[in-house]
Structure 1
Amino acid sequence: MQKLLAAALLSGAAFGANAAEDFPNRTLSLVVPNPPGGLVDTSARIVAEPLAAALGKPVVVENKDGGSGNIAYQYVARAKPDGYTLLVSYSAYHVGNPNLTAKLPWAPKDFVPVGLVTVSSNVIAVHPSIKATNITEFVAEVKSSPGRFNYASQGVGSLSHLGTEVFKQQTGAAMFHVPYRGSGAAIQDVLAGNVQVFITTPPSVMGHVQTGKLKALAVTSPKRHPMLPDVPTTAEAGLPEYQLESWVALFAPAGTPQPVIDKLAASVEAALKQPATVQRAQAAGIEARFEGPEALNQRVATELAYWQRTVAAAGITAD
């Protein structure tokens, strides 16, 4: 019996080593849980080309949006764990959805981390029809007109949803939630004035803020955004406890051989260090930042616990 067990272990180790040695020998797929445009899709496309160069094989981006990200997550969770199908995971879906929905078709344990790809602050953007020019004035304006203000999100469970609910909790500014399928549809209604507020990542609103089609009241990071230097931080705007960071990372299905994960992680790190990759991310208003599997695993564990507390305290549900 012991000999059979030892043989099985050796066979598994050999499979993992052989898988890494032969990997990759065909096209890889990056599955995005959002429609084109916005932080997650932009991050996937920023890393795809240099990752293909690092691996020596094509890397394609597949958009499988819908279901607050759950369609893509379930798809990758059920994919063959061979390293060829990777999830481009959005922080709010990865650590938010498990705390919002009791019966998800996936769980965080269904994935193993490959590496962090991008990190982004968020922008509190409003339609120009709003008279407020800062956070204090905005909160006062909302409170003076109960039932008037709506806020957009990229969908139930997105960080724009969770983050705005936390903003409401901290300020007492009551706003009605209007979820959309991704940032593209949301931004169109905000630009039209149908929805007044959108707390989202810079790629969605930066150009509109720069042309005056939207007003940016603050950025939700410790430092000002380099592409929006005149926009104060939330701390500068009088809301120091309100900070909101989004991240995008690559995950593989659980069971993917460790040597394959190691090779993917090293290739992602190399891709993100390319000057052209860094510049392309900066131009999109986001930061290319690598974290390896161990650090990313710790990040997920920490944020799962944080959002569990936050969601419970705010009474947020997948409405």
Structure 2
Amino acid sequence: MLHPLGRIEVEVELAERDGETVIERASLVRTARKILQGELHLPDHVFSGGARSAGPAGRTVRSDRSRPIRLIVPTPAAGANDVIARAIALELGPLLGRPVVVDNRPGANGGIASEHVARATPDGDTLLLGYVATHAMHPALQNVAYDPVADFAPVGLIGHSPTVLVAGSAVRARTAAELVAHLRANPAACTYASAGEGTAPHVAAELFTLAAAVDIPGVTFAGSSAAINAVVTGRTQLMFSSLFTGYPWIAGGRLRALALAGPDRVAALPTTPTLHEAGVDGVDVTQWYGLFAPARTPADVVGDVNAALNQILTRTDSAGLIASRGIDVRPGTPDELGALVVHELAKWRQLVDHAGLAARRWPTTVPMSDMSLSGG
């Protein structure tokens, strides 16, 4: 097994009791003297319940704790999901007594990563950084190869982020009302950057075009980082970005925040009005992020990860790091995250059907080889 002070050799006697593999006896081979002398301390998690998985014939077996936990991210590196996942993983590992490795698996608008975790062994070794797109918007918009409710065990919510309409330097409009007037007079004068079909930047932009009665062609990039870079560098002119993604560019003066796609103003952008204030209703897109495990992951394993996640989110330094980029940190229970997914999925299915979004044109996709990441 692995311990913060190095490798520990043990002899273990296993037995099956009531359908579960348990440790009958464990003897330390080389480190007993160090423990007796107080030179080495074994934390409780070394011989605690640990991660379990459903084994043959329904038997529960313990996960190999020498293996790292893989935190699967459905988007490319450097985007909001990736940054959040790495911040969580950095502190989650020590609390669980195992390394946590971030594994980016972008593709199919989050479908590749989500399906991978949905099909993974439910032993606590695999987690998903899920968000509003993977568990609500994309499944509402298209058929996906996973069930966002039945195929996952919710672990815990991380937080919410407002969606903000940002404009590049080439856009002369200083308000959302001015932008709408310009676009009505000049159809297709601007393009918006999307992070993929069924993602918040895509859905929010399409809702905006319907609500404001304007025409804005979309251009799809591989993730939010590439999409917002396209606005910064002038390749596209607009984006409905999460505040987490857009805030550094707004604060640095490279992008201009025109309006918030939500019900309220936010403290990070106190002078930025909502679209409702600007006269555009029906664009309410709040983004959220959470941890998920495969369905049938044992409740005690989910509970251990939830407790560690909430401990991270309630620390001043950890929560402050995430909140400084516009995340409203929300520790909670697995049941609360599960209820959020059910509510959001129903909400977006109804909205997609009402607005006819599934039948609308898709943004043009930019090949990976053509993407420029200059500008930050």
Q: TM-score, normalised by structure 2?
A: 0.76
Distance 1:51 1:312 in 2: 39
> Which is strand-richer, 1 or 2?
2
> Which is helix-richer, 1 or 2?
1
Among candidates 295, 298, 302, match of residue 336 of structure 2: 295
Distance 1:240 1:294 in 2: 32
SS in 1 for 2:208: helix
2:9 is equivalent to residue 11 of structure 1: no
Whichever residue aligns with residue 34 of structure 1, its letter is T
Q: CA deviation at 1:220?
A: 2.7
Distance 1:317 1:175 in 2: 17
2:305 is equivalent to residue 264 of structure 1: yes
SS in 2 for 1:132: coil
Map residues 10-49 of structure 1 onto 2, 5 A cutoff: 10-11=18-19, 21-23=49-51, 25-26=65-66, 27-49=68-90
Name the counterpart of 2:146.
106
Map residues 185-196 of structure 1 onto 2, 5 A cutoff: 185-196=226-237
Q: CA deviation at 1:162?
A: 1.0
- Contact 1:128–1:213 under 8 Å retained in 2: yes
Whichever residue aligns with residue 324 of structure 2, its letter is A
Name the counterpart of 1:142.
183
Q: Which piece of structure 1 moves more, 19-28 or 190-199? A: 19-28
Map residues 85-96 of structure 1 onto 2, 5 A cutoff: 85-96=126-137
SS in 1 for 2:114: helix
SS in 2 for 1:155: coil
Q: CA deviation at 1:148?
A: 2.0
Name the counterpart of 2:255.
214
CA deviations 1:194-246 (Å, max 9, x no partner) are 21110011232222222322111012344433333332233433346532210
Q: Are the structure 2 counterparts of residues 68 and 20 from structure 1 closer, same or farther at C-alpha, using a change threshold of 3 Å?
A: farther
Q: CA deviation at 1:123?
A: 1.1
Among candidates 90, 106, 118, match of residue 77 of structure 1: 118
Q: CA deviation at 1:10?
A: 5.0
Kindly indicate whether structure 1 or structure 2 has the higher relative contact order, using CA contacts under 8 Å at least 6 residues apart: 1
Q: CA deviation at 1:146?
A: 1.2
Name the counterpart of 2:278.
237
- Contact 1:38–1:203 under 8 Å retained in 2: no
Distance 1:162 1:239 in 2: 15
Whichever residue aligns with residue 215 of structure 1, its letter is R
CA RMSD of aligned residues (A): 2.3
Among candidates 271, 275, 282, match of residue 316 of structure 2: 275
CA deviations 1:99-139 (Å, max 9, x no partner) are 2222x222211111000012100110011222211111111
Q: CA deviation at 1:181?
A: 0.8
Name the counterpart of 2:7.
none
Whichever residue aligns with residue 112 of structure 2, its letter is I
- Contact 2:80–2:225 under 8 Å retained in 1: no
- Contact 1:125–1:216 under 8 Å retained in 2: yes
- Contact 1:38–1:201 under 8 Å retained in 2: no
Q: Are the structure 2 counterparts of residues 53 and 238 from structure 1 closer, same or farther at C-alpha, using a change threshold of 3 Å?
A: farther
Q: Which runs of 5+ in 2 are unaligned?
A: 1-16, 24-46, 52-62, 363-376
Aligned residues: 308
Q: CA deviation at 1:191?
A: 1.6
SS in 2 for 1:22: coil
Q: Which runs of 5+ in 1 are unaligned?
A: 1-8
Q: Which piece of structure 1 moves more, 267-276 or 227-236? A: 227-236
Distance 2:345 2:89 in 1: 27
Q: Which piece of structure 1 moves more, 148-157 or 234-243? A: 234-243
SS in 1 for 2:166: strand
Q: Which piece of structure 1 moves more, 48-57 or 260-269? A: 48-57
2:255 is equivalent to residue 227 of structure 1: no
Q: Which piece of structure 1 moves more, 244-253 or 171-180? A: 171-180
2:165 is equivalent to residue 124 of structure 1: yes
Name the counterpart of 2:26.
none
- Contact 2:211–2:281 under 8 Å retained in 1: no
CA deviations 1:160-196 (Å, max 9, x no partner) are 1111111222211221121111012112221222211
Whichever residue aligns with residue 322 of structure 2, its letter is A
Q: Which piece of structure 1 moves more, 286-295 or 85-94? A: 286-295
- Contact 2:75–2:105 under 8 Å retained in 1: yes
- Contact 1:165–1:314 under 8 Å retained in 2: no
Greater C-alpha radius of gyration = 2
Whichever residue aligns with residue 22 of structure 1, its letter is G
CA deviations 1:50-75 (Å, max 9, x no partner) are 22232122112111111101111111
Whichever residue aligns with residue 355 of structure 2, its letter is A
